[in-house]
């Protein structure tokens, strides 16, 4: 019977238990077989349809850590007394003494006037979990108990209770948290799950505002490299407690301290050591890279902001222009088909000439393989800032062996495009030495005029199509965009690959700018290649399903006449 009164007290003490009381009304819960010995007597009144308030979510108790350990009802619901059932619930003398001891131990002698609003659940938990309760009472989470916060903070149930706040579905004890100072270690799955409980308060804009918290913490963390890696299932990526938990030996994750506390792992003087748990050799400069801020704001330097703005405009304007170009080209191709003026039905369609030699094709194959691999393994991480997209990313990355396997394959892709680049540079050097280096890929002012005239021609505003030489303006753009992309992506990719090394020599704003460039350039490159370039060499109606030159190196004489008439005039005497 005494359990009744503690349940009532708990419902007034925490919103979580108030929700539990409201949830106790639905249909009768199943009674687990492994209830403690004293539960039979309690349930005489506290079952569905009994005389007293029904115990909610009873079926969960048998699966909980307490149910499996044989903890009985009166182990927690003890020492409470009252008169009739409608009388005032009060603490037993034993619990009143406990409150007084906690007040003195936490806030010192002479502060008996401090009014404790401690949930009764904390008092019951402390009977068995003294170390954890002591650490919690010294944490930033417990300051509301002394009236030092405007709103109630988290209690034992906030983190350890079931998803709907039930005390009877108390979660199992978490796996030990012991970060290594010399190697990256896996974060147990239950601690990654605990992050959702952190976000329950810190990601609640209304609560965060009332509590004086930063409402952007959830968003900025999930958008950070750490948050994205956690979302796609990387087992060593840090969660909230990985950085914010102070001393595992003194209560584990219960002693979360304010970042202004000198003892906090994320205080200015300790951040380097905390980063060093996973990143050996971390410096103060490296530690400044991680913050709950938008990446372009990290470091308070103007360069990351300018970089973000410039690349945002570059990406948007480039893709808009070429999307427009693809659209009008597609309409032009359809008009040609309907007018039956397409090529491919003459004798010239059966003859071909060499367009790319074996070395050029091999370079393209290396580049193609690397870019596809980089896109498939990098894009899921790029999109993991959104919770729903992260679920798809996690499922897709199983193809590569999960998040860590994808990271390895991403580096393989990087090596492939580096090989392609070096191969091409050696190839150009060889041609230059033989005085055979062509300059037909160098952009000239005529390309701008050709681009204007070609757009007008496809729109039907100009009668004559421009006369293109060996390479038209689109092919030149593709070629030099690869040079630009290699410098941007490989350069910044090495910063990602070896962040601690670069942080030793470069200011934090340089590394932050590199992060922005890598993400924005990846978006531009992948979108361009898989939409614009793919259309031009595969989906264009006149060449569908593809231009075979990238495989066999040859182009039909008819296509040469149509696409590159100037080059055809130079070669027509040699064509048989």
CA 572 – CA 474 distance, rounded (Å): 24
Task: DSSP letter for 533, please.
Answer: I
- Please report which helix (H) or strand (E) contains residue 318, including its range: helix 302-338
Helix ranges, 383-467 (H): 387-396, 402-433, 445-458
Residue identified by tokens 């505002």 is 209
CA 400 – CA 412 distance, rounded (Å): 12
Two tokens, residue 560: 């040469």
What does pTM read for this prediction?
0.77
Q: In tens digits, what is the pLDDT along the chain, a chain of 576 residues? A: 333 333 333 333 333 333 343 444 344 445 566 677 667 777 777 777 777 667 766 777 777 778 777 787 777 765 443 323 434 445 555 455 555 555 555 445 554 444 444 455 566 787 788 888 888 888 888 877 766 667 777 877 777 776 555 667 666 666 555 544 444 566 666 666 778 888 888 888 888 888 888 888 888 888 888 889 988 988 888 888 888 877 543 446 788 888 888 888 889 889 898 888 888 899 988 988 877 777 655 556 788 889 999 999 999 999 999 999 999 999 999 988 888 655 545 788 888 999 999 999 999 999 999 999 999 999 999 888 888 888 899 999 999 999 999 999 999 999 999 999 999 999 999 999 998 888 889 999 999 999 999 999 999 999 999 999 999 999 999 999 999 999 999 999 999 899 999 999 998 889 989 999 999 999 999 999 988 999 999 999 888 899 999 999 999 999 999 999 999 999 888 886
CA 538 – CA 395 distance, rounded (Å): 29
Tell me which residue of 137, 139, 160, 142 sits closest to 152, measured CA to CA. 142
Tell me which residue of 98, 271, 248 sits closest to 177, measured CA to CA. 248
């Amino acid at each position: 019977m005494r359990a009744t009164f503690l349940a009532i007290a708990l419902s007034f003490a925490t919103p979580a238990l108030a929700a539990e009381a409201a949830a106790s009304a639905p249909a009768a819960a199943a009674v687990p077989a492994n209830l403690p010995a004293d539960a039979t007597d309690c349930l005489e009144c506290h079952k569905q349809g009994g005389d007293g308030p029904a115990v909610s979510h009873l079926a969960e108790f048998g699966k909980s850590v307490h149910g499996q350990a044989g903890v009985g009802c009166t182990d927690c619901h003890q020492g409470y007394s009252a008169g009739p059932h409608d009388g005032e619930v009060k603490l037993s003398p034993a619990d009143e003494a406990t409150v007084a001891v906690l007040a003195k131990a936490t806030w010192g002698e002479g502060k008996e006037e401090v009014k404790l609003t401690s949930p009764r659940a904390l008092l019951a938990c402390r009977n068995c979990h003294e170390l954890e309760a002591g650490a919690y009472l010294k944490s930033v989470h417990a300051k509301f108990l002394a009236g030092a916060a405007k709103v109630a903070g988290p209690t034992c149930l906030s983190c350890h209770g079931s998803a709907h706040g039930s005390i009877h579905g108390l979660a199992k004890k978490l796996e030990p948290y012991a970060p290594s100072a010399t190697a990256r270690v896996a974060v147990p799955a239950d601690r990654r799950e605990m992050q959702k409980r952190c976000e329950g308060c810190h990601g609640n804009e209304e609560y965060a505002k009332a509590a004086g918290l930063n409402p952007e913490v959830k968003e900025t963390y999930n958008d950070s490299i750490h948050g994205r890696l956690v979302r796609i299932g990387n087992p060593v990526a840090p969660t909230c407690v990985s950085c914010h938990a102070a001393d595992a030996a003194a209560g584990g994750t219960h002693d979360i301290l304010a970042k202004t506390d000198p003892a906090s792992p994320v205080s200015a003087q300790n951040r380097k050591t905390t980063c060093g748990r996973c990143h050996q050799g971390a410096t103060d400069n490296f530690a400044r890279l991680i913050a709950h801020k938008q990446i372009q704001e990290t470091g308070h330097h103007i360069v990351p902001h300018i970089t973000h703005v410039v690349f945002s405009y570059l990406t948007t304007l480039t893709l808009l222009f070429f999307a427009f170009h693809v659209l009008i080209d597609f309409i032009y191709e359809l008009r040609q088909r309907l007018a039956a003026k397409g090529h491919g039905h003459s004798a010239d369609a059966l003859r071909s000439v060499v367009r790319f030699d074996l070395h050029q094709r091999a370079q393209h194959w290396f580049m193609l393989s690397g870019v596809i691999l980089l896109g498939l393994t990098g894009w899921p991480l790029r999109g993991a800032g959104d919770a729903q997209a992260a679920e798809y990313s996690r499922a897709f990355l199983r193809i590569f062996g999960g998040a860590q396997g994808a990271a390895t394959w991403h580096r393989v892709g990087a090596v492939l495009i580096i090989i392609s680049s070096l191969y091409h540079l050696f190839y150009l050097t060889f041609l230059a030495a033989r005085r055979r280096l062509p300059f037909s890929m160098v952009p000239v002012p005529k390309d701008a005029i050709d681009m204007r005239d070609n757009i007008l021609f496809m729109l039907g505003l100009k009668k004559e199509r421009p006369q293109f030489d060996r390479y038209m303006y689109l092919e030149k753009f593709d070629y030099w965009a690869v040079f630009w992309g290699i410098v941007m992506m490989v350069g910044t990719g090495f910063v990602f690959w070896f962040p601690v090394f670069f942080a030793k020599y470069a200011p934090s704003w340089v590394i932050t700018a590199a992060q922005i460039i890598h993400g924005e350039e990846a978006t531009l490159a992948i979108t361009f290649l898989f939409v614009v370039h793919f259309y031009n060499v595969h989906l264009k109606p006149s060449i569908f399903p593809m231009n075979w030159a990238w495989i066999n190196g040859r182009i039909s004489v008819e296509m040469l006449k149509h696409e590159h008439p100037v080059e055809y005039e130079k070669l027509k005497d040699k064509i048989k």
